[in-house]
Amino acid sequence: MHIPDGFLNVATVAATCAVSAGGIGGAVKMVGRKLGEKQVPLMGILAAFIFAAQMLNFPVAGGTSGHVIGAALAAILLGPWAAVLIMSCVLIAQSLIFQDGGLLALGANIFNMGIVASFSAYYIYRLVTWLAGANRRGTLIGGFAAAWGSVFLASIFCAIELALSGSSPFGVVLPAMAGVHALIGIGEGLITGAVLGLVLATRADLLQLQRI
Amino acid sequence: MKHSFLDQYSQGNSLIHRLDPRTKLITTLFFILVVVLTPISRWQAFALYFVLVATLIIISRVPPLYVLRRSLAIIPFVVLIAIFIPFFKEGEVAGSYNIWMWQVTVTYSGLQVFLNILAKAWLSILSLILLTATTRFSHLLKGLEQLRLPRVMVMILSFMYRYIFVLVDEVMRMKQARDSRNLGGGRLRQLRTVGNMIGTLFIRSYERGERVYAAMMARGFDGQARTLEKPSFSQRDALFALTLGLVLILVVVANLWY
C-alpha cells in the first residue's frame, strides 16, 4: 500500500502533506503532554518494534507472503495519537532507508497508514470491546475487527488518492484495492488477535496502559 | 549486529558524501518534484534525468550495480500499484484479453501512462537511493531537524534507528529458533506463531524502553539531545545546489516551450 513517487499529482501531494503535517503536529503535542520526556525512548523503541515486526513474514495464498502494517496493534496498545507518531516514524524511515514509498508521497502514506489506520483501528476496537465486553473474547474479536478495518479503510483512502491523481480510474482502483486488502486484512487481523492474546496471557497489565 | 542493508556505503568519502545533508535533501526533493511534474510525452527529458542521476552516482563512487539492484528490488511493488493503469484508459486498443469473467482491453495511451509512471517512480527511487547511500542516517536526521522537522520527531527517529539493529537481531534469533524447531502445521498455526513472536517482541521492546528511560534518567536526561557535530553549509554546497537547480530549471523551461 506504500505509494511510490510519480503516482500522485501535485494537488493530492499538497493536500495529504498538509493533513499529515497537522496530524503529526497534533500527535507530538498530545503525546508530549501525556508522556513528557519519557516519550522519546519509548516511542523510538516501539517504532523500531513495528519496523522489526514487519520483517516477520507469514504465508498468504499461492506461495506469496505478507507482513503486518502494525498500525492497529500500536493504536490498541498505546492509543491513536501515539500510533500516529510511531507509524509516521516507521514510514519516514521506510521511505528514506528502503525507498519503500516515495518522498513526495510520504504525506499520503502517513495519512493512509498512519492517521486513517490508527484512528479507525482505535475506535473500532473501542466499539467492539464495548459491545462484546472487556473480556478475553472481546479483546481478541476487537483486535481482529480493528486490524481488518484499519487495513481496509487505509486501502480505500489509498485508492481515492490514486484516482484523484488520475493514475487509475476510480471505478477500477477502488474495488481492486479494497478487494485485495479485504483479504490481506484477514492476516493482519488474525496476527493482531494472536499478539493481543499473548500479551493478555503474559503481561495483561500492558493492555491497561494509559492510551494516548 | 551488522545489518548493512540499512545504510551501506554511507561512510564513503566523495564530493557527494561531503555535501551538507540539507543540500542533498532539498536537491533530491526538487529533483523528484521536477520528475513528477514532467509531462508524459517528454521522453528526452526522462533520458536527461537518468543521465543526471547516473552522473551523480558515478561521482559518489557508490557501485552502480548496487544502486541498480536495490532499485529493481522495489519495482515489483511499484508495478503492483500501477497494474490497473494500462487496462482502463480510453483510446486505441492494443490488445484484448478474456480473463475469467472480465473482458479487459489494453490501450496504447494506457500503456504509455503506465510506462511513464514506472519511469518516474524509478527515477525518484534512484535519487532516493543516492541520497541514503551517501548520507549517514544521523546526518540525515540532523539535516531534517535544521529543515524544521519537529525536534521530538527527530529524537524519536534517532532512537528508532539505534534500536532497529537491536530488534532486528532479536527477530533473527526468534526466526532461527522457530525454524530450528521446524514449524509445520497449517496456515492458521503459522499465523498464530508469528503473532506470538510479535507479541513477545512487543513485551521485550516495551520493557527495554522502560529500562532505557530509567538509564537515561540516571544520567540526567532532561528531554534534550545534544550532539557535537554541526554540519555546515559551505561554498561547495551552494555551488552544487545551484548547478543542479539550474540544470533542472532549464529542463522545466525547455519542457514548457517545446
CA dihedral B53, B55, B60, B65 (to 10 degrees): 80
Chain A, residues 115-154, CB within 8 A of chain B, namely: none
pLDDT in tens, B124-181: 999 999 998 888 888 888 888 888 888 888 888 888 888 888 888 888 898 888 888 8
With b meaning 16 or more CB within 10 Å and e meaning fewer, what string describes A115-138?
bbbbbbbbebbbebbeeeeeeeeb
Backbone angles phi and psi of A58, in degrees to 5? -130, 150
- Report helix, strand and coil shares of chain A as percent, to nearest 5: 80, 0, 20
Q: Which three cell numbers stand for residue B148?
A: 524544521
A61 dihedral zone (left: phi>0; alpha: psi -120 to 50; beta): beta
pLDDT in tens, B201-234: 888 888 888 888 889 889 887 767 676 666 677 8
> pLDDT-based confidence at B57, cuts 50/70/90?
very high
The mean per-residue pLDDT over the stretch A6-30 comes to 91
Residue that has been written with the C-alpha cell 499461492 in this structure:
A62
Cβ-defined contact of B171 to A68 (cutoff 8 Å):
no
Quick check: A109 and A2 in contact, CB under 8 A? yes
Task: Assign domain A10-208 to a CATH class.
Answer: mainly alpha
Backbone angles phi and psi of B150, in degrees to 5? -50, 140
In Å, how far is A46's CA from the nearest CA of chain B? 7
Through-space distance between the first and last CA atoms of chain A, rounded to whole angstroms: 26
Q: What is the pLDDT of residue B92?
A: 60
pTM of the model: 0.89
Does residue B86 or residue A157 have the better pLDDT?
Answer: A157
Residue that has been written with the C-alpha cell 521492546 in this structure:
B205
Chain A, residues 161-180, CB within 8 A of chain B, namely: 162, 167-169, 172-173, 176
Q: What is the pLDDT of residue A202?
A: 87
Quick check: B19 and B241 in contact, CB under 8 A? no
**Angle A71-78/A80-93 helices, nearest 10 degrees?**
150
Q: What is the pLDDT of residue B225?
A: 67
Contacts of A207 in chain B (CB under 8 A): none
Contacts of B67 in chain A (CB under 8 A): none
pLDDT in tens, B87-133: 666 656 666 665 555 566 677 777 888 888 889 999 999 999 999 88
With b meaning 16 or more CB within 10 Å and e meaning fewer, what string describes A145-155?
bbbbbbbbbbb
Of A5, A49, A172, which has the smallest distance from its Cβ to B202's Cβ?
Answer: A49
